Amino acid sequence: MAEKATAPRHIAIIMDGNGRWAKKRMLPRSAGHKAGLDTFVDISDACNDMGIEYLTVYAFSTENWNRSPEEVSALMELMSRGIVKYEPEMVKRNVKLKLLGDLDRFEPVYREALLGVEERLSVNTGMTLCICLSYGGRQEIVHAVNKLLKEGKTEITAEDISNSLYSAGVPDPDLVIRTSGECRISNFLLWQSAYAEYYFTDVLWPDFDKKELVKAIESYSKRERRYGR
């Protein structure tokens, strides 16, 4: 039996196109990432205002470590400072923060700053904002399986894996949005997106606004979800 989709409980976003946005304006890539950070804050606030329970964003993938050292360190600084600066607003909005990924690869100064924000916001009870940092879907599954093996498990269920992912406790995404015209999933929430609805738009991430978010949600709401039935 197909089910008519209602409002998504969990939206996940691949924020793509910062570099192309900057190039179109003859600006350095860093300007695109800065504009992307502003959009992230606006969209997070918009999701919160709309009563979305979970928002997950793909901020830095395991593959992104292969970018130039200058871009990687600029991104680290921008993201860490951005999250620290956004903390008071998240406190005001009762947002809970969850960091998904291999933070051990981060420089200690950034890692500690980020974990501090996550810890302080852990008492909040409103929207859960998951930020994927140094994140890869395959690595996350491998990490989960190794964790289970270390715990002594000899037979593993799907539920065991779900409960051992970085996203443990977070329901699977209903709607996955990717901006900038690329129609691929790029190692994002591979396990969790098994039954997600996808929405691809040509809009570059820094140009994605509340109007575009509403369009994505409206498209989702018109779909029938079959879950393979």
Positions 182 through 221 that interact with ligand FPP (CB under 6 A) = 205
Which residue number, 67 or 143, has a Cβ lying nearer to ligand FPP? Answer: 67
Does residue 106 belong to the site contacting ligand FPP (CB under 6 A)?
A: no
Nearest-angstrom CA–CA distance, 202 and 200: 7
Q: Looking at this protein, which amino acid is placed at residue 47?
A: C
Per-residue contact flags (x/-) with ligand FPP for residues 111 to 140, judged by CB under 6 A = --------------------x---------
Nearest-angstrom CA–CA distance, 218 and 32: 27
Q: Do residues 195 and 176 lie in contact, with contact meaning Cβ atoms separated by under 8 Å? A: no
Per the annotation, the verdict on 174 as an active-site residue is no
| Of the residues 82, 136, 137, 173, which one makes contact with ligand FPP according to CB under 6 A | 82
| Of the residues 17, 101, 137, 173, which one makes contact with ligand FPP according to CB under 6 A | 17
Q: Do residues 132 and 101 lie in contact, with contact meaning Cβ atoms separated by under 8 Å? A: yes
Smallest distance, ligand FPP to C-beta of residue 8, A: 19
| Alpha helices, H only, 25-136 | 29-49, 69-92, 108-120
Give the interface size with ligand FPP as a residue count (CB under 6 A): 19
Q: Do residues 11 and 48 lie in contact, with contact meaning Cβ atoms separated by under 8 Å? A: no
DSSP letter at 123 equals G
Please choose, from the candidates 119, 116, 132, 163, the residue with its C-alpha nearest in 3D space to the C-alpha of residue 54. Answer: 132
SS3 helix, strand, coil % of the chain, rounded to 5? Answer: 50, 15, 35
Smallest distance, ligand FPP to C-beta of residue 36, A: 3
Pick the piece of the chain touching ligand FPP (CB under 6 A) from 3-11, 34-42, 47-55, 152-160. Answer: 34-42
Does residue 8 belong to the site contacting ligand FPP (CB under 6 A)?
A: no
Give the interface with ligand FPP as residue ranges (CB under 6 A). 15-20, 33, 36-37, 40, 57, 59, 64, 79, 82-83, 131, 180, 205
